[in-house]
């Protein structure tokens, strides 16, 4: 039996069996480079730390349930230069999540609100924060189903417990039935306990009527706007740029005149 075989049960008992992935490589490196034992041990254990960090990141990204793998790096700020790039980059550091602040992205369809919200959510996951992304319609659908199977409290606890909750496309349609109360409850339970990011095609003043009740709207919006970052994203649609922007968003140039031949 080799010394490695002897190590396996010990490492499993210590929940360190992951070091076996790089043990042979690090052992050979230590021999060839005459590394001190402390340096060999540090590199071996650091491999395991990185492996666990990567595994946890993958789990956070999977649980976030993003629609697409969007990043800040692949967002084209030059397409709509009026979008406040410095403020978006600042939010992408995820510092606001640690401070339990909210973020509201408003603007017309196609300017990149969903892209930016998911990109910030991705950075929050990389920073170690639990994140949930879903559309407003899916949020209300899941809570409606939870009422039916009596899992409402558990579902609400999941939404309230995430470090960052991203609700995309609020206000595409009016809220109905229990939806205003559900939205208020999500906002109330998350207030100063977690960060909530909401994207909407509607201006902030148009959010109040969505609740259908003045007192409910005031209570919800007061909590939502407290400690919040409002980002107004204006410009042309990436999906359907106007003719003068060209097919990829660049400014279209007039066609060169055709030279006439005799």
Q: pLDDT 10s digit of each residue in the chain, 262 long?
A: 456 777 788 888 888 878 888 888 888 888 888 888 888 888 888 888 888 888 889 999 999 999 888 899 999 999 989 999 999 999 999 999 999 999 999 999 989 999 999 999 999 999 999 999 999 999 999 999 999 999 999 999 999 999 999 999 999 898 999 999 999 999 999 999 999 999 999 999 999 999 999 999 999 999 999 999 999 999 888 887 777 655 545 544 444 444 444 3
Residue 219 CB contacts under 8 Å (≥ 6 apart), including other chains: 184, 188
- Tell me whether residue 260 is in a domain: no
What beta strand segments (E) does the chain contain?
Answer: 102-106, 131-135, 164-170, 195-200, 228-232
CATH code of the domain covering residue 87: 3.40.50.300
The predicted model scores a pTM of 0.81
- Tell me whether residue 59 is in a domain: yes
**Residues 22, 132: one domain?**
no
**Residues 184, 108: one domain?**
yes
**Rounded distance between C-alpha atoms, residue 243 and residue 250, angstroms:** 10
**Rounded distance between C-alpha atoms, residue 250 and residue 210, angstroms:** 37
**Residues 54, 151: one domain?**
no
How many domains does one find in the chain?
A: 2
pLDDT for position 42: 87
pLDDT for position 2: 58
**Rounded distance between C-alpha atoms, residue 218 and residue 118, angstroms:** 28
**Residues 26, 155: one domain?**
no
pLDDT for position 46: 85
pLDDT for position 121: 97
- Tell me whether residue 253 is in a domain: no
**Residues 160, 175: one domain?**
yes
Neighbours of 166 (CB within 10 A): 26
**Residues 221, 144: one domain?**
yes
Range of the domain at 39: 3-63
pLDDT for position 254: 47
User: CA 223 → CA 13, 169, 192, 235, distances in Å?
Assistant: 48, 19, 9, 29
């Amino acid at each position: 039996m080799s010394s490695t075989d002897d190590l396996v049960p010990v490492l499993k008992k210590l929940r360190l069996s992951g070091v076996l992935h790089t043990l042979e490589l690090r052992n050979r490196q230590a021999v060839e480079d005459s590394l001190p034992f402390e340096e060999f041990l540090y590199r071996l254990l650091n491999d395991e730390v990185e492996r666990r960090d990567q595994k946890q990141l993958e789990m956070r990204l999977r649980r976030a349930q993003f629609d697409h793998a969007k990043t800040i790096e692949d967002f084209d700020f030059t397409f709509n230069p009026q979008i406040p790039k410095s403020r978006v980059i600042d939010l992408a550091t995820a510092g606001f999540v640690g401070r339990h602040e909210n973020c509201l992205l408003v603007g017309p369809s196609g300017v990149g609100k969903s892209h930016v919200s998911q990109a910030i959510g991705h950075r929050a996951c990389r920073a170690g924060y639990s994140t949930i992304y879903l559309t407003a319609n899916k949020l209300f659908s899941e809570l409606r189903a939870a009422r039916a199977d009596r899992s409402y409290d558990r579902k609400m606890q999941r939404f309230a417990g995430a470090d960052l909750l991203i609700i995309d496309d609020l206000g595409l349609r009016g809220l109905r039935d229990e939806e205003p109360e559900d939205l208020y409850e999500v906002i109330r339970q998350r207030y100063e306990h977690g960060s909530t990011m909401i994207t909407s095609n509607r201006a902030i003043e148009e959010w109040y009527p969505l609740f259908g009740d003045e007192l409910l709207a005031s209570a919800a919006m007061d909590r939502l706007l407290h400690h919040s970052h409002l980002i107004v994203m204006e410009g042309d649609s990436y999906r359907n740029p106007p003719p003068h922007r060209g097919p990829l968003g660049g400014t279209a140039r007039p066609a060169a005149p055709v030279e006439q031949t005799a």
